[in-house]
Structures are given as C-alpha cells and as structure tokens.
Amino acid sequence: MKIVADDKIPYLKGVFEPYAEVVYLPGGKITSADVADADALITRTRTGCDRALLENSKVKIVATATIGIDHLNTAELDEMGILWRNAPGCNADSVKNYIASALASLDKDLSGKTLGIIGVGHVGKKISEVGRAFNMDVLLNDPPRAEVEGGSAFTGLDELLSKSDIVTLHVPLEISGRYPTLNMADENFFAKMKPGAYFFNSCRGEVMDKAAFISAKNSGKIAGALIDVWPGEPDLDPALLEVVEIGTPHIAGYSREGKANGTTASVRAVAEFFDLAPLKNFQLPALPPPVFPEMIELDNTLPAWKQISQAVLHVYDVTRDAAELKAAPSQFEALRGNYWNRREFSAYTVKNFSPGAKKSLELLGFKTG
C-alpha cells in the first residue's frame, strides 16, 4: 500500500510506515503524477483534491486533517468513487483560544457588550462560550440551523449586524446553494454594521469582499479588525494587511491540540478504510509541554475581566503572531509551517483568582486550583 501525505501534518511520520510506503510532499505541490500509484492521500488545505488531481490515480480515500473541506471537490470525489473524510471540530478549541486572545488584547471591560457570531457549528458554539466568559451578550446567526431547529435561538443577520459590538465569522465557504457564503461580508454587510464595531474573520478569506472591507475600514465604519484568513492567500494584498490591526497567517486553529486532533482523525479514517486494526483507535503520545509556566498566578485585586485577560494573554497573545506577519508578509507559508508550540488553555492551571472570575476561567477551559 502507498500513502501520499502533506509533509506539514504533525505527528504523522512513522505512524503508517509499518503498513505502507509513505511519501511526504509539500501540500501545495502535490501533482497527479505523485498520486498516480497511491492508495490514499492525507492532506490539509493547500492541496486541491479534484478530478484533475485524482482521476487517473489509484487513490481510494482522501483524508484531510482539517475541519474545512473547500479544498475538496466532494462532488467530483463522490462521482469517482473516492471516499473523503475531514476532521469535524478538530481545532474548535484552538479557534476559541484565538478569539479569546483577540478579546483580551482589546484591554477593555466587555461586560454588557454584544458579540455577534455568524455560523454556529463546531467552532461557533465554542465562540459563544468565549462571549459568555467575558460577560458579553451573545447573538447567534445560522440560517441552516435555524431552519432545522427553529429560529428562537437565532437572530437575523440584519439585526445581528446592527446590534453587535463585535462581529465574528465562522461559516464554511459555500459557493452556491441555498446559503452561499462567498463574499457574504460585502458592501451591504458592512453598511449594516453598528458604527464603531469590530470585525473578525477566522473562517475563510473568500467569505469577505476585500474591497468592501477596505472601504469600510478606511471610512471609520469599522473600529478595528482581526483577520486570520485572506483572499488569495498565501499572497497577501499589502493594502489589506495595512488596514488590519491584528492580522495572522491562518493559524487560528494551529494549537498543538488542534493539529493533533486533525492528525488523529485522519489516521483513524484511513485505518478504518483499510482495516488496519492497530490504528483504528490511534492515540498520539503526550504533547510537548507548554512554552510558558503551566501554573498561572493571578492578581485577584484586579477586576474580574482583567484577571481573565491576564490568564488568556499568559497562554497566548495573538498580537505577537500579528507582529511577525506584519514584519514579513512574504513569509506567510513559513510562519504557518514552522508555527510555535501553542498549547490550549486546558494545559494550564490558574490560581489566586477572585470568586467573580472563577466561572469565566473554567468556561474558557482553564483548570482552577
């Protein structure tokens, strides 16, 4: 058996070697010749998996170590009889940490402010916990879910935009269908936003109309922006990067735990398909220890929101990632490929917190001791 795999998938090397020949290649450079005699392809977002790549190959399964599947032409894969599997929810907690860091970096009391979440899947649900941890009012918009579940828990898009102090996008990229999301954040979208609101996008770059965003930002309609995903990435438009306060190289989901979860899901999917019994319940070995001290001593004389921000920024300060991208935008792929050992809040214990901060810290995922 032969497996072709993206060489940036962590913890994968050595796993399949007892059972298969494994060839590791840069995801964006995998060609039809590379997969012609492969039985499986394990990938991430940089490999477009479609008829052009796979029609003349022996590939029977494509497993992507990601939540998103817009790099998979699922209709064509289905037509060719190639099974595909993604990793739903694998990095939801990582994105949760990312958004929490963005809120903490604002350095202000957000109690009573409104967080509008567009897209309430695996990730969006986690982001609602972040809003509650910062004592924000949370509005949810998800038309497909509202259609199935009823609309009582959801808010219409226009109302959400007009009321939210921070709008954050967590939708899949849908080109067509009943609920397309391509360029959904367009001129009309930004015009309906509450004046002085913040705009976050950490789902897919093409969900945002670049020109409309730049115009809204330059006009002062948007007070601030956090962008992790970019139209046309990894090639960044300097005009877009220039107007963004916090811009990062598509790493919101890049915690060690998030990467490990994606790898685990892919290994299990391939093992299940080929009946590799020892790998069907594959578990990774222990992750590397956190970069920063695992015990966080808070100052309980500070207001609760300050304590929460202190804990969050001890673990992860998103502005450091943003500074690296601003300094070297041409290194977008290198910054992703060599990303640092970011562990999630669950790897850390906080102590010396006030009673008012305890519930929020636990909601974010910290251990409280």
b (16+ CB within 10 A) / e for 216-251: bbeeebbbbbbbbbbbebbebeeebbebbbbbbbbb
One-letter amino acid for residue 50 of the chain:
D
For the residues of 221-259, what is the DSSP string, one character each?
Answer: SEEEEEESS-TTTTS--HHHHHH-SEE-SS-TT-SHHHH
Residue 164 main-chain phi, psi, to 5 deg: -85, 135
Residue with tokens 């999917």: 269
Helix then strand then coil, in percent of the chain rounded to 5, is 40, 15, 45
Report the DSSP beta bridge partners of residue 297. Answer: 351
Show the tokens assigned to 153: 């828990």
333 is catalytic: no
Establish whether the linkage from the previous residue to 180 is cis, with ω within 30° of 0: no
Nearest Cα to Cα of residue 64 among 334, 262, 295 = 262
Show the tokens assigned to 340: 């640092």
46 is catalytic: no
233 is catalytic: yes
| Residue among 71, 85, 170, 250 flagged as catalytic | 250
The three state secondary structure string of 195-222 is CCEEEEECCCHHHECHHHHHHHHHHCCE
What lies within 8 Å, CB to CB, of 128 at 6+ separation is 115, 117, 120, 138, 140
Q: What angle do CA 18, 23, 25 make, to 5 degrees?
A: 145
Integer CA distances (angstroms), 86 to 5, 43, 63, 83, in order: 14, 10, 6, 10
| Residue among 44, 170, 204, 314 flagged as catalytic | 204
| Residue among 129, 233, 333, 344 flagged as catalytic | 233
- Which residues are known to be catalytic? 204, 233, 250
